[in-house]
């Protein structure tokens, strides 16, 4: 028994070591920074067909990095998660159309302001009942978490008597208004103008731009002085040589890039049919699917090892070890998985100052969360074996460990197989929650594609189909294994 458990722990440690080593191997010898950005915020940042992030912010960062001679790794995630990632030290800076405010200056150091903005209010293009802020009384408005639009809306909420609901990305917020789940959205003026220009069925009702402010590049207060200095120096250079104006005009000028067409090349297919959208995004969907499978397989294997260990601890003849197992299972089964992911990726680095790569944080989250559920049913499986089996084995002179290994565990594991199959499928679906910490798995890939082509129904149908195909294959495989074991 002991050798078996030690072997499991050694395997788990080796895989963790490989994960950490893989991330560290990517470290560059020259100045290299990790920058986060909003994954869906055109025209400032959005994903092109080939998976690259473009937009005013992205092109500007690329030009500045080239001028100043530093390299960077981009970590797209929701704006709110990005802000927390900077504060936790998980990334070095954030460039995501972030408005400079006095409140944010308490925790961020900002670059030179680079774009003047303000907040506007938009409603559905078909809505003829809302003509001013006074018409919002008693109705629900859509806000994007952590944005200047949300802050402005909250400041006038009591005055105009509307209710607010929050979203993590602009596209979902727009669709909430278009589909009637909210009557209006508060958004930065250039972003809203650009969305309407690209065909989003909204119209602006506010006559004046409110809560005007400036966008800035942000780093954690008191840190990354060299990065901030390089950004400011590079920004001045691209302003002086005209690069900055060219970038802004490219996306917002009369000859600006249509972000629905950015994905295209000279041989593009402009059709919005299901097949053409799938072919156009096949590579991105495949990459997202591969990442989902990687998370699932690695997460299930390690969670199973951890869960079996917890289950065995739950039936050993020691009250202390049983209590320890029950406490661990109680804690991690009681925590929502999304909360656990944020705690590991953002909370722990805030305290320790040590970065945890998003993929590693995701795997640890799966191990702790899924492992707790596995531990519970493994313990139940062992306890469901007739106690007389153990008593008979002990009466024949077998020690406790051998009796467990030779008599109880083989019977218990057979009883647990359906639960393992079910947990395997649950783990695959739970990986979608890890998109919140910046892992671009299948669900996040769908979000990025929709932000570019606005074909929500068709893209989500593709994503759902891919999940069902994989789950069906896993179910067949699991059933085959179950039959073989029987």
Same domain, 368 and 464: yes
Mean pLDDT over 243-268 rounds to: 64
Q: Is residue 17 part of a domain?
A: no
Q: Is residue 315 part of a domain?
A: yes
Q: Which residue has the higher pLDDT, 263 or 405?
A: 405
Question: Domain holding 309: CATH number?
Answer: 1.10.3720.10
Q: Is residue 439 part of a domain?
A: yes
**H/E segment holding residue 71:** strand 71-77
Same domain, 123 and 161: yes
Same domain, 303 and 443: yes
Same domain, 49 and 196: no
Question: Domain holding 78: CATH number?
Answer: 3.40.190.10
Residue 12 has pLDDT above 60, yes or no: no
Residue 460, judged by CB atoms within 10 A of its CB (0-12, 13-18, 19+), counts as middle
Same domain, 200 and 298: no
- Residue 343 has a pLDDT of 92
Q: Could you tell me the pLDDT band of residue 259, with boundaries at 50, 70 and 90?
A: very low
Q: Is residue 260 part of a domain?
A: no
Residue 355 has pLDDT above 60, yes or no: yes
Cα distance between residue 217 and residue 58, in whole Å: 12
Q: Is residue 425 part of a domain?
A: yes
- Residue 138 has a pLDDT of 93
Q: Are 441 and 288 in contact (CB under 8 A)?
A: yes
Q: Is residue 1 part of a domain?
A: no
**Each residue's pLDDT tens digit, 268-291:** 445 567 888 888 888 889 999 999
In which domain, by residue range, is 394 found?
274-485
- Residue 95 has a pLDDT of 95
Same domain, 47 and 157: no
**Each residue's pLDDT tens digit, 83-94:** 888 988 889 999
Write out the two tokens for 110. Answer: 């900002």
For the range 228-232, what are the long-range contacts, defined as Cβ-Cβ under 8 Å and sequence gap of 24 or more? 228/93, 228/109, 228/111, 230/31, 230/64, 230/68, 230/70, 231/64, 231/68, 231/93, 231/111, 232/111, 232/112
Mean pLDDT over 325-346 rounds to: 93
Same domain, 418 and 467: yes
- Residue 262 has a pLDDT of 46
Same domain, 106 and 159: no
Q: Is residue 284 part of a domain?
A: yes
Q: Could you tell me the pLDDT band of residue 254, with boundaries at 50, 70 and 90?
A: low
Mean pLDDT over 59-69 rounds to: 95
Q: How many domains does the chain have?
A: 3
Residue 154 has pLDDT above 50, yes or no: yes
Q: What is the mean pLDDT of the chain?
A: 84
Same domain, 364 and 411: yes
Residue 359 has pLDDT above 70, yes or no: yes
Q: Is residue 453 part of a domain?
A: yes
| Pairing status of strand 108-110 against strand 163-167 | unpaired
């Amino acid at each position: 028994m002991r050798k078996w458990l030690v072997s499991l722990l050694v395997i788990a440690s080796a895989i963790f070591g490989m994960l950490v080593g893989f991330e560290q191997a990517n470290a560059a010898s020259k100045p290299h920074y990790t920058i986060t950005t909003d994954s869906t915020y055109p025209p400032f940042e959005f994903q092109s067909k080939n998976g690259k992030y473009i937009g005013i912010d992205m092109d500007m960062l690329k030009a500045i990095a080239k001028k100043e001679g530093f390299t960077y790794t981009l970590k797209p995630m929701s704006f709110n998660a990005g802000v927390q990632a900077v504060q936790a030290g998980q990334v070095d800076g954030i460039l995501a159309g972030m408005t400079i405010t006095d409140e944010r200056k308490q925790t961020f150091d900002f670059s030179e302001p680079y774009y003047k903005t303000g907040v506007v209010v938009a409603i559905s293009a078909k809505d003829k009942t809302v003509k001013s802020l006074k018409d919002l009384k008693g109705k629900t408005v859509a806000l994007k978490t952590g944005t200047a639009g949300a802050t402005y809306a909250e400041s006038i909420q009591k005055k105009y008597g509307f209710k607010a609901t929050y979203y993590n990305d602009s596209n979902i917020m727009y669709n909430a208004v278009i589909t009637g789940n909210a009557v209006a959205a508060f958004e930065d003026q250039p972003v809203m103008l650009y969305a309407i220009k690209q065909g989003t069925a909204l119209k602006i009702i506010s006559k004046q731009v409110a809560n005007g402010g400036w966008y800035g590049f942000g780093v954690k207060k008191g840190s990354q002085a060299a990065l901030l200095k390089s950004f400011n120096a590079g920004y001045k250079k691209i302003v002086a040589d005209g690069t900055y104006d060219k970038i802004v005009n490219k996306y917002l000028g009369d000859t600006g890039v249509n972000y629905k067409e950015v994905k295209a090349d000279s041989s593009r297919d402009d059709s919005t049919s299901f097949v053409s959208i799938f072919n156009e995004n096949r590579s991105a969907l495949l990459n997202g699917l591969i990442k989902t499978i990687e998370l699932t397989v690695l997460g299930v294997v390690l969670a199973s090892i951890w869960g079996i260990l917890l289950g065995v601890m739950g039936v050993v003849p020691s009250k202390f070890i049983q209590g320890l197992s029950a406490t661990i299972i109680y804690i991690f089964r009681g925590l929502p998985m999304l909360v656990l992911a944020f705690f590991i990726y953002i909370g722990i680095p805030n305290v320790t100052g040590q970065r945890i790569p998003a993929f590693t944080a995701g795997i640890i989250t799966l191990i702790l969360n899924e492992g707790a559920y596995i531990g519970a049913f493994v313990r139940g499986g062992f306890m469901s074996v007739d106690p007389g089996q153990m008593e008979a084995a002990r009466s024949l002179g077998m020690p406790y460990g051998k009796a467990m290994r030779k008599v109880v565990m083989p019977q218990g594991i057979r009883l647990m197989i359906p639960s393992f199959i079910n947990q395997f499928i649950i783990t695959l679906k739970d990986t979608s929650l890890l998109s919140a910490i910046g892992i671009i798995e299948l669900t996040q890939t769908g979000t990025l594609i929709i932000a570019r082509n606005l074909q929500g129904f068709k893209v989500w149908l593709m994503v759902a189909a891919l999940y069902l195909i994989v789950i069906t294959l896993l179910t067949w495989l699991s059933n085959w294994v179950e039959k073989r074991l029987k």
